[in-house]
């Protein structure tokens, strides 16, 4: 029997990277999968990497109406939602993102996806799960646990995700809702977003960036999408039934680096 047998899981930003790796692993563990993404073309293509039965829904996580529609369509298809993985994320919208090069539009774009999207997801999920129970996993970042002077909006947005996670967990606990909510904190992972980050470190060349990253002592090396997916699986399964409001680092130890 799979670790998520017969569970229904909704994974946002699942067209590639960590979201798609999570969808594959969840399917292998017996879950029924709904993958959503703003990028409909990539999302539909991602279905080819999954077993039959998975559903893709076009979804902008910043839209309250889209959240309502995605939940309604999922429930129509599968009857319920047991697991929500708030994975969709945006690194940056401009080449540099320091305090002085970040304008308000840029700040809002990142925070709208990374914070408001997760807020809307948690609110919609809790509304649906409060009687029958469920699990929410929010994808934060090691950036939530360190200063990020070159990614000013992203770091702040991921710290907000970590904090929001604890408040959602606490809200459910005090209301008596059988819902757990935890956050996962990866360091650079080999995905499109990881390449985008390393392109900055490598002066425009992601391959050079990854090479430089691997050389820095204490950064923990690059992770694979599957490394993160396995932690998401643990938190989503009943094995984590006593883990709530936690920050699970999946960062090779980067957050404990001595500088």
Ligand X SMILES: NC(=O)c1ccc[n+]([C@@H]2O[C@H](COP(=O)([O-])OP(=O)(O)OC[C@H]3O[C@@H](n4cnc5c(N)ncnc54)[C@H](O)[C@@H]3O)[C@@H](O)[C@H]2O)c1
We find the least distance from the C-beta atom of residue 9 to ligand X, in angstroms, to be 15
Question: Whose Cβ is closer to ligand X: residue 83's or residue 88's?
Answer: 88
Question: Whose Cβ is closer to ligand X: residue 31's or residue 197's?
Answer: 197
Question: Whose Cβ is closer to ligand X: residue 106's or residue 130's?
Answer: 106
Backbone angles phi, psi at 151, to 5 degrees: -140, 65
Helix axes 192-201, 17-28, angle to 10 degrees: 150
**Exactly one of 154, 174, 177, 219 is catalytic; which is it?**
154
Q: Spell out the long-range contacts of 191-200 with Cβ–Cβ below 8 A and sequence spacing 24 or more.
A: 191/16, 191/17, 191/18, 191/225, 192/16, 192/17, 193/17, 193/89, 193/91, 194/17, 194/222, 196/91, 196/92, 197/91, 197/151, 200/95, 200/96, 200/150
Would you call 174 a catalytic residue per the annotation? no
Residue 16: both structure tokens together: 């590639």
* Measured distance CA(91)–CA(180) in Å, rounded: 26
3-state percent helix, strand, coil for the chain, nearest multiple of 5: 50, 15, 35
Question: Whose Cβ is closer to ligand X: residue 179's or residue 197's?
Answer: 197
We find the least distance from the C-beta atom of residue 66 to ligand X, in angstroms, to be 8
Return the ∠ at Cα 162 (arms to 132 and 228), rounded to 5°.
80
Question: Whose Cβ is closer to ligand X: residue 90's or residue 201's?
Answer: 90
Binding stretches for ligand X (CB under 6 A): 12-13, 15-19, 37-39, 59-62, 87-90, 113, 117, 139, 141, 186, 188-189, 191-194, 197
We find the least distance from the C-beta atom of residue 68 to ligand X, in angstroms, to be 15
Q: Which candidate, 72, 66, 182, 171, places its Cα nearest to that of 126?
A: 171
We find the least distance from the C-beta atom of residue 114 to ligand X, in angstroms, to be 7
We find the least distance from the C-beta atom of residue 99 to ligand X, in angstroms, to be 20
Residues recognised as catalytic: 154
């Amino acid at each position: 029997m799979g670790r998520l047998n017969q569970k229904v899981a909704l994974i946002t930003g699942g067209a590639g990277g960590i979201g798609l790796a999570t969808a594959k692993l969840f399917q292998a563990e017996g879950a029924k999968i709904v993958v959503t993404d703003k990028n409909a073309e990539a999302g539909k293509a991602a279905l080819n990497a999954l077993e039959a039965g998975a559903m893709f829904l076009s979804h902008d996580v910043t839209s309250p109406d889209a959240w309502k529609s995605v939940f309604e369509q999922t429930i129509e298809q599968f009857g319920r939602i047991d697991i929500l993985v708030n994975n969709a994320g945006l690194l940056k919208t401009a080449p540099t993102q320091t305090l002085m090069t970040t304008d308000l539009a840029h700040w809002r774009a990142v925070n709208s996806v990374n914070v408001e999207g997760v807020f809307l997801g948690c609110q919609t999920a809790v509304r649906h799960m409060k009687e029958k129970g469920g699990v929410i996993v929010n994808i934060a970042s090691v950036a939530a646990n360190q200063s990020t002077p070159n990614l000013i909006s992203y770091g702040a947005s991921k710290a907000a995700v970590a904090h929001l996670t604890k408040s959602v967990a606490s809200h459910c606990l005090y209301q008596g809702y059988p819902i757990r909510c935890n956050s996962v904190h990866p360091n650079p992972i080999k995905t499109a977003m990881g390449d985008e980050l390393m392109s900055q470190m490598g002066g425009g060349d992601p391959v050079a960036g990854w090479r430089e990253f691997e050389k820095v002592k204490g950064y923990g090396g690059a992770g694979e999408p599957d490394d993160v997916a396995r932690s998401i699986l643990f938190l989503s399964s009943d094995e984590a039934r006593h883990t709530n409001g936690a920050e699970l680092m999946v960062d090779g130890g980067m957050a404990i680096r001595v500088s």
